[in-house]
Amino acid sequence: MLPFEQARTAGVVVQQGGIAAKVCVIPTNGALEVASCLGADAGVARAGGVGLDVSRVTNAPWVAMSIGQELTWVSRRRVGVWVAADAMVHIVRPQWRVRDLGIAAKTGPVGFRLVVGPTLRL
């Protein structure tokens, strides 16, 4: 059996959370808005061992810069739908090693994000 056909029995599970701050240029202000944005993102990634004799949970910071487009449609005066697509370049990239296995998980240099949600104008 080839190595990539075998089920993995040991490794890590990673969860990630964070916050983002964006600066956007919105050329029009109507029912449909298209914005170009630059942002800074930061957070914490938490990883725990799976299938290991000795397992522990560790936290590591991550930082990224983002660039993207946003589309907002306001159906009424204050309520609408928001869609954003961003490319992210990670500046601080955490990684986790497992003894005798090497690097088990590592944040990639580039990532992509798609977000859809409601918006409320105050």
10-residue mean pLDDT profile of the chain (122 residues): values are: 53 89 86 92 91 83 96 83 96 87 87 93 79
For the chain, count helices (H), then strands (E).
0, 7
Q: 33 — phi, psi (to 5°)?
A: -120, 135
pLDDT at residue 43, rounded to an integer: 96
pLDDT at residue 18, rounded to an integer: 94
Give, for 6, the enclosing helix (H) or strand (E): none
**Does pTM top 0.85 for this prediction?**
no
pLDDT at residue 3, rounded to an integer: 46
pLDDT at residue 8, rounded to an integer: 60
pLDDT at residue 105, rounded to an integer: 86
